[in-house]
């Protein structure tokens, strides 16, 4: 039964997922062209000094893309389920509710992770083509919070669409926005390194939040 749910989600989201992958690759291609132009316009030692010592981020165009990707993927996955309350049909399957919801969320997180890991991998290769290893490490630590903002945006979108009570919906959206803003804050490059794991664990609390919202969605007319 869970395999059928995963297959259903794949059929429903593959077009949107493909479009989002193309969007991310287009931004990465722009960053590659922009990085190359930096070395054309200035001497390599000047570019290195800006990036390695002044904290210039040569891939700043990527900053909001994971956030946008997560929100759009969440909408592509859960918005069709809300039409005519189709998601209630899934919640009436002869499978425990938490397993059904977990299968949906796990699929979405995996699909989003595939896009964002591709972004990070290409970013690492691109940075290594122009800068030393230290710059590659710093670039990944700088981009990692943006990727986590994408996961928060995905879970926040799922919460907003599943939660039936409007006051809780507003509160959950506010929490997701606050977490996203925290990840999108502009500190010095790599400054989230020491606290990123703690923030990620805190953001993971949104997952049981999705389960609770789905439970309220399933039984709201009985309460």
* Best-predicted range by mean pLDDT (15-24, 92-101, 183-192): 15-24
Tell me if 114 sits within 8 A of 99, measured CB to CB.
no
pLDDT of residue 222: 47
Grade residue 199 by pLDDT with cuts at 50, 70 and 90. Answer: confident
Tell me if 128 sits within 8 A of 180, measured CB to CB.
no
- Taking CA 91 as the corner, what is the angle to CA 89 and CA 95, rounded to the nearest 5 degrees? 120
Domain containing 90: what range? Answer: 1-219
Report yes or no on whether pTM surpasses 0.85: yes
How many structural domains compose the chain? 1
The Cα 75–Cα 69 span in angstroms is 10
The percentage of the chain sitting over the pLDDT mark of 90, rounded to a whole number, equals: 42
Query: How many other C-beta atoms can be found within 10 angstroms of the C-beta atom of residue 121?
Result: 12
pLDDT of residue 223: 43
pLDDT of residue 15: 95
Contacts of 216 (CB under 8 A, 6+ apart): 163, 164, 165, 168, 223
């Amino acid at each position: 039964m869970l395999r059928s749910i995963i297959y259903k989600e794949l059929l429903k989201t593959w077009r949107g997922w493909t479009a989002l992958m193309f969007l991310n690759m287009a931004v990465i291609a722009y960053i590659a062209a922009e990085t190359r132009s930096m070395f054309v316009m200035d001497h390599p030692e000047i570019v290195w000094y800006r990036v390695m010592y002044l904290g210039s981020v040569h891939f700043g165009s990527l900053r909001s893309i994971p956030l946008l990707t997560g929100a759009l993927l969440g909408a592509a996955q859960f918005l069709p389920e809300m039409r005519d309350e189709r998601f209630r049909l899934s919640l009436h399957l002869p499978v425990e509710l938490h397993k059904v919801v977990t299968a949906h969320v796990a699929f979405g997180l995996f699909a989003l992770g595939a896009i964002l890991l591709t972004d990070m991998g290409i970013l690492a290769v691109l940075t290594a083509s122009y800068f030393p290893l230290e710059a590659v490490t710093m670039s990944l630590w700088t981009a990692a919070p943006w990727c986590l903002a994408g996961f928060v945006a995905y879970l926040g979108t799922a919460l907003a669409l599943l939660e039936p009570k409007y006051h809780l919906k507003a509160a959950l959206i506010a929490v997701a926005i606050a977490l996203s803003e925290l990840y999108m804050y502009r500190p010095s490059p790599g400054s989230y390194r020491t606290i990123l794991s703690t923030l990620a664990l805190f953001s993971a609390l949104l997952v049981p939040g999705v389960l609770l919202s789905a439970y309220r969605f399933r039984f709201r007319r009985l309460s």
